[in-house]
Chain A
Amino acid sequence: MAVAQPALDLPMRRTRIGGWDPTWLLWIAIIAVLLFLVVSPFVYLVLTSFQAERTGAFTLQNYATAYGRARYIDALFNSLQLGAGAALLAGVLAVPLAWGCSRTNMPGRGFVRMLVLATFITPPYTGAVAWILLAGPNAGWLNRIYVMLTGAEAGPFNIYSFPGLVVVIALYSFPYIFIFTSAALELVSSEMEDAANILGAGTWRTMRKVTLPLAIPAILGGLIICFLEAIALFASPAMIAIPARFNVVTTQLFQFFGNPVRVEVAAAYAMPLLGVTVLLALVQRLMTHRKSFATLTGKGGERRPIDLGSGRWLMFAYAMFVASLSVFLPYIFLVQAAFAKAWGRGFAWDNLSFRNFHFVLFEHATAAQSVWNAFLYAGVAATAGVILTLGVAYIVARKLVPFGGLLAFLCVAPFVIPGVVLAIGFYAAYAPPPLALYGTAMILILAFTTRFLPIGYVNASAAIRSINPEMEEAVRVLGGSRLTALRRVVAPLLKRNLLGAWLLIFIPATRELSSAIFLYGPNTKVVSVMIFDMSEEGNFEYLAALALILQILTLPLLYIGQRALGRDFMLRRTTT
């Protein structure tokens, strides 16, 4: 019997495997965008490092130049030392705080978490400036207070030093370790600890033998992230290391990028930074995704805080000490500077003035514009990033195309590319004709989109996975198209998550410096670059005012995010 002919009054859809399918179009479009955003800058970075300036011929000269001087090599080692020092110090700051907040009856746990969040949303350059006010030689407040109290000739603190830089970086990157460690500790149930207690182990022994080993992979993972942050950071080293007359990789890259721009040499010089980052990021993945760690994510069981007795106040004191260094002292003196005619004249009524705010908002030629630029570019980048990652997460989760995993990989790949390296790649790829995007708003937006693609993807894919596909199938079987399902069911259910993902890109993008500093032009200065410029000019009063404006503008965003996703959304969702 012949197979019945398809009836023509119903629209049939061809489904031959290997044949043409409209979803391929979508796949091609997305892969094209990802090639443009992620792959091409990376490829150009590598290519450029082997190309002669102007002629473009193959050469190894760039590498010879980049590693040809002792001080260039020194900068590489300085970065490694800086990363190690900052990560270790950050660990010392963060681990006790994380344990105190998540496992003990330390008083004020919510307050301490809030202060960690305040640290987390302080841009590294703002923190660095605050610490220049605090611990600059002679004029720094800590030195002046020391002199006042002891009558000594001069204070002991000098921020313009290697240890100074380590401290400043550790103070503003310890939240990463805090996030990782508390996430792990919150998975250790009291029952596991009880099991050890019943077998005769005391509180400290239990902590050493049970709790800590369970948290170790997370702590190490956090240390690695801190290390990577520290070696990729541009702002604080530029403000502190350069006056102190030493270089790290990022500041050296910036100098290769200065007049005249030697992007070929910069690309060659960026390779070790890129290599170390890729390698350590992989190690970090392996460590936090190990099986022993994954088994913890089962039912956590009940968690009773450990009673520290009177030690809880000691714990609290330590938390306040850390918070003083990262939040209280810096902000007190930033506020003082922002409202001062001259910050050095201290807290006097006749030194009080609103002039700085008035100046940066209304008189300065580009300061207000730079704030607007930052928010505009960040807004566009966050919107593009959310739409793109949501699209990818959706088609990967619903297996709409073959090789979806490749798309997912491209979305998270920028995680291993430091901001400065990414910027050099973008410069190499898109500054020359035909696109000639250097100095345009477009290149900043594209770079920001790429830079925060991983945050977007992690959140978007978690959001999509939280929706049972049957929700959409129920729409379709009742006669709605896939688009109807997206519009009527998926989008409403994801609203909060998408808003959250958007904010998680938007907030850091408004303050992004390390990629912006290499790509901005005269009309596309963003607020981070503006603040950096002011620090070079020594305009600390204006700078403090501008930095505070940036922080104040962030507060309503934080509030919205907390309403949508809960109090800890910033601390929970930024990292995977």
Chain B
Amino acid sequence: MSKLVLKNIGKSYGSFDAVKDFSLELASGEFVSLLGPSGCGKTTTLRMIAGFMPPTSGTIEVDGKVISSPAGVVPPEKRGMSMIFQSYAIWPNMTVGQNVGFGLEVRKLPRAEIERRVDRILEVVQMAPLKGRYPAELSGGQQQRVALARAIVVEPEVLLLDEPLSNLDANLREEMRFEIRRLHDEFKITTVYVTHDQSEAMVTSDRIVVMNKGRIEQIDPPHILYGRPKSRFVAGFIGRTNFVDRDGATYSIRPQSIGLSPARPLANAVEADIVGRSYLGEYWDYLAKPLGDTKPLRVSTGPNVLFDVGQRVWLEIDPTAMVRVE
């Protein structure tokens, strides 16, 4: 049975629909990301799941029980979920240990049991030596670990994360992505993860929900989203791509699916001029304009494939790599 089911959830402010007709089912232990540009309704959706915001339409079920419908909502404190906030929301008046133990305390566990569980989870997130510290004495990354420990230690029905890494610097952000996935694999908690960073979503998630203007564009595992985007929006939002119009339809083709050679290849080739290039270390990014066309295509090649701007080349397009998008 599905752990968390959202059926046709909607939220409107007056005549503006922040989220519309949102349906999603999460299997137990699944990790799903909500991905989309700023303002597309990710936070709104997450807060409706948490119970901080009553949806204007639709129902939410956990383990088959309705916790939210237009008839009424279960308040957040009765939903048995956990949430990690963008600001971490670590309570500055409590030590690390008190922060992490709070949820267990509310659940009225015996003192000794609380201590045992807090110690164990702090061990897992590598924060055990800092148990007695106050949040003001922690770095951003350490605060993040406390927030994770605090959310996981209560073994929630569902774990919700709202852009938890956006306040960290680039290196730490990358490290924490793997950390979050590692914790998920260890505790198998059903997770909804909100982000606008596609690589974050791809590294962590089993499935990704791509949202645009309050609606779902596509729900699929990362490799399918990338390889088989259904819409122009998804193709453009996940990774870099080219759109080509052919026979009245639009197709997406990834820059690395286009071959670049000085001599004419066997088939499916068009002649083009290199009009721009940039070097990104791991690859070259070329702009090649097919003869008679106005729009250049992006083509990426290995770091050792060299062409000059102005050079005449051949583009080789693999028809199986072309994905029709609407």
| B103 contacts A by Cβ under 8 Å | yes
| A299 contacts B by Cβ under 8 Å | no
CA gap between A9 and B150 in the complex, in Å: 27
B66 near A5 with CB under 8 A, answer yes
A477 near B71 with CB under 8 A, answer no
- Mask for A268-304, Cβ within 8 A of B = 1, else 0? 0000000000000000000000000000000000000
**In the complex, which residues of chain B have a beta carbon less than 8 angstroms from the beta carbon of A468?**
87, 89
| A471 contacts B by Cβ under 8 Å | yes
A4 near B71 with CB under 8 A, answer no
Residue on B nearest A477 in the bound complex, by CB: B83
**In the complex, which residues of chain B have a beta carbon less than 8 angstroms from the beta carbon of A471?**
89, 91
A13 near B74 with CB under 8 A, answer yes
CA gap between A484 and B77 in the complex, in Å: 10
* Nearest CB of chain A from residue B42's CB, rounded to whole Å: 16
- Mask for B182-210, Cβ within 8 A of A = 1, else 0? 00000000000000000000000000000
CA gap between A471 and B88 in the complex, in Å: 8
Interface residues of A in 474-515 (CB under 8 A from B): 474-481, 484, 488-489, 492-493
Given contacts A7-B65, A15-B54, contact A476 B76 (CB under 8 A): yes
- Mask for B60-85, Cβ within 8 A of A = 1, else 0? 01000111010111111111111101
Given contacts A7-B66, A479-B77, contact A492 B93 (CB under 8 A): yes
CA gap between A9 and B80 in the complex, in Å: 14
| B260 contacts A by Cβ under 8 Å | no
**In the complex, which residues of chain B have a beta carbon less than 8 angstroms from the beta carbon of A556?**
none
Residue on A nearest B162 in the bound complex, by CB: A470
* Nearest CB of chain A from residue B268's CB, rounded to whole Å: 48
Given contacts A4-B59, A10-B67, A11-B78, contact A478 B89 (CB under 8 A): no
**In the complex, which residues of chain B have a beta carbon less than 8 angstroms from the beta carbon of A484?**
106
A470 near B75 with CB under 8 A, answer no
Residue on B nearest A495 in the bound complex, by CB: B93
CA gap between A468 and B51 in the complex, in Å: 18
A480 near B74 with CB under 8 A, answer no
B69 near A470 with CB under 8 A, answer no
| A70 contacts B by Cβ under 8 Å | no
B91 near A474 with CB under 8 A, answer yes
| A69 contacts B by Cβ under 8 Å | no
A470 near B74 with CB under 8 A, answer no
From A7, A476, A489, contact of B77 by CB (8 A): A476
**In the complex, which residues of chain A have a beta carbon less than 8 angstroms from the beta carbon of B150?**
474, 478
| B92 contacts A by Cβ under 8 Å | yes
From B52, B72, B154, B160, contact of A13 by CB (8 A): B72
From B54, B72, B106, B151, contact of A6 by CB (8 A): B72
Given contacts A6-B69, A7-B66, A15-B73, contact A470 B102 (CB under 8 A): no
Interface of A is mostly: loop
A3 near B69 with CB under 8 A, answer yes
B78 near A493 with CB under 8 A, answer no
| A348 contacts B by Cβ under 8 Å | no
Residue on A nearest B91 in the bound complex, by CB: A489
Residue on A nearest B61 in the bound complex, by CB: A4
**In the complex, which residues of chain B have a beta carbon less than 8 angstroms from the beta carbon of A14?**
71-72
Interface residues of A in 186-245 (CB under 8 A from B): none
CA gap between A42 and B192 in the complex, in Å: 54
From B66, B72, B91, contact of A15 by CB (8 A): B72
From A3, A5, A475, contact of B102 by CB (8 A): A475
* Nearest CB of chain B from residue A256's CB, rounded to whole Å: 53
CA gap between A3 and B69 in the complex, in Å: 9
B154 near A478 with CB under 8 A, answer yes
From B77, B81, B89, contact of A480 by CB (8 A): B77
**In the complex, which residues of chain B have a beta carbon less than 8 angstroms from the beta carbon of A12?**
71-74
| B107 contacts A by Cβ under 8 Å | yes
Interface residues of B in 84-130 (CB under 8 A from A): 85-87, 89, 91-93, 102-103, 106-107
**In the complex, which residues of chain A have a beta carbon less than 8 angstroms from the beta carbon of B54?**
15
| A473 contacts B by Cβ under 8 Å | yes
**In the complex, which residues of chain A have a beta carbon less than 8 angstroms from the beta carbon of B18?**
none
B50 near A6 with CB under 8 A, answer no
CA gap between A471 and B87 in the complex, in Å: 9
From B83, B106, B154, contact of A473 by CB (8 A): B83
Q: Using A9-B65, A15-B73, A470-B89 as known contacts, list a sample of 18 further A-B pairs with CB atoms less than 8 Å apart, ordered by residue number in A.
A: A4-B59, A4-B69, A6-B66, A12-B71, A12-B73, A12-B74, A15-B72, A473-B50, A473-B83, A476-B77, A478-B150, A479-B80, A479-B103, A479-B107, A479-B154, A480-B102, A480-B106, A493-B93
Q: List 21 A-B contacts (CB under 8 A).
A: A4-B59, A11-B78, A12-B72, A13-B75, A15-B72, A468-B87, A470-B86, A474-B83, A474-B150, A475-B91, A476-B77, A477-B51, A477-B79, A477-B82, A478-B77, A478-B106, A478-B151, A479-B80, A479-B106, A484-B106, A488-B91
Q: Which residues of B contact A (CB under 8 A)?
A: 50-52, 54, 59, 61, 65-67, 69, 71-83, 85-87, 89, 91-93, 102-103, 106-107, 150-151, 154, 160
Q: Which residues of A contact B (CB under 8 A)?
A: 3-7, 9-15, 468, 470-471, 473-481, 484, 488-489, 492-493
